Amino acid sequence: MALADAPRRRLGPFEVAPIGLGCMNLSHVYHPIPSPEQGAAVIEAALDAGVDHFDTAALYGFGANEDLLGATLGSRRAVITLASKCGMYGRDGKRVIDGAPESIRRLCDEALTRLRTDVIDLYYLHRLDPKVPIEESVGALAELVSAGKIRAIGLSEVSAATVRRAHEVHPIAAVQNEYSLWTRNPELGTLDVCRELGITLVSFSPLARGVLTATPPVLADLPKADLRHTMPRFHGEAYAANLAIRAQLADLADAAGCTLAQLALAWLLAQDQCVIPIPGTRSVEHLHENLAAAEVEVSDATLARAGKLLNDRTVVGNRYAPAAAGDIDTEAFLEAG
């Protein structure tokens, strides 16, 4: 069964394949960053494999990722669901969170130009701006829907309470939060509110930022600019403990006849029909491996075992360092590990 033949899942008003492509690491924070030619090769391979949901943002490469998608999609733009994000972008070489209506309108116009399209299918507020009520930010996005510049509204890294407030202003199609075996924050409330309100939960970093793959990252081998240097789970005794759990999961996957990445994605797909993971990769080979998770058969017992091995109680280390954690609105566990 090819990805195109896999049962579809609802993404707001759209129907898409059960696994999409997160494009961030083709231009942003995971180093070394591939060349535009390498990035284009991954996007083209995804299109050929039946991927019809591509996710980008103004922040990624400070516009470079939207440029890459716009230049690569070409005529096939019409057959995919294209998602991007506003509210967080690069200015003077630094990341800026800005959910003001005038900023949202400007970023949308810039995104349309970079993406070489007349309309963005799904447009997220990338981060809640604490200086701007969510009602004002979503109100600006609703105006973009009315203007025909975007088709549906999403939110990223938000809590259930914020989703409810936003949904009262305009229907929210999708919430994009980090969700994986080792990051269970959506289970504190956001997943339940998505089920209740008919919202899709788009899972970013579903492979634990590379840990739940055949080659987990080694910080000593990564350039200092790599985002994972800032994350507590990748350091010292915490990372050693997490890798020990990863080894058990790899054995479980091997016994099930699939790869570790496929097991991790199959676990997410089994959590609810409203969940759509968007793994990213720089490798065409890994792309095909990830997409094959839509067709692997893993027993309920194996999935349950995976969930018991790695979860919010067994993972060691917080998701973000304190400074980065202060920029997100998602529910958080009191401590990790």
Q: What confidence score (pLDDT) does residue 333 get?
A: 86
Give the pLDDT mean for 288-304: 97
Residue 131 burial (C-beta neighbours within 10 Å; 0-12, 13-18, 19+): exposed
Q: What confidence score (pLDDT) does residue 4 get?
A: 81
Listed residue (207, 195, 122, 202) closest to 158, CA to CA: 202
Report the percentage of the chain scoring pLDDT > 90: 96
For 119-168, how does the pLDDT look when each residue is reduced to its tens digit (9 = 90+)?
999 999 999 999 999 999 999 999 999 999 999 999 999 999 999 999 99
Give the pLDDT mean for 282-307: 97
For 35-63, how does the pLDDT look when each residue is reduced to its tens digit (9 = 90+)?
999 999 999 999 999 999 999 999 999 99
Listed residue (41, 46, 12) closest to 121, CA to CA: 12
Question: Taking the complete model, does pTM exceed 0.75, yes or no?
Answer: yes
In the structure, what pLDDT confidence band is assigned to residue 5 with cuts at 50, 70 and 90?
confident
Listed residue (99, 275, 131, 304) closest to 190, CA to CA: 275
CA–CA gap between residue 53 and residue 189 (Å, rounded): 25
**What's the chain's average pLDDT?**
96
Residues with catalytic roles: 60
Q: What confidence score (pLDDT) does residue 336 get?
A: 43
In the structure, what pLDDT confidence band is assigned to residue 337 with cuts at 50, 70 and 90?
very low
In the structure, what pLDDT confidence band is assigned to residue 1 with cuts at 50, 70 and 90?
low
Q: What confidence score (pLDDT) does residue 141 get?
A: 98
CA–CA gap between residue 290 and residue 213 (Å, rounded): 10
Q: What confidence score (pLDDT) does residue 335 get?
A: 52
Q: Is the pLDDT of residue 328 over 90?
A: yes
Give the pLDDT mean for 226-252: 97
Give the pLDDT mean for 12-18: 97
Q: What domains lie within the chain, and their CATH numbers?
A: 8-326 (3.20.20.100)
For 165-217, how does the pLDDT look when each residue is reduced to its tens digit (9 = 90+)?
999 999 999 999 999 999 999 999 999 999 999 999 999 999 999 999 999 99
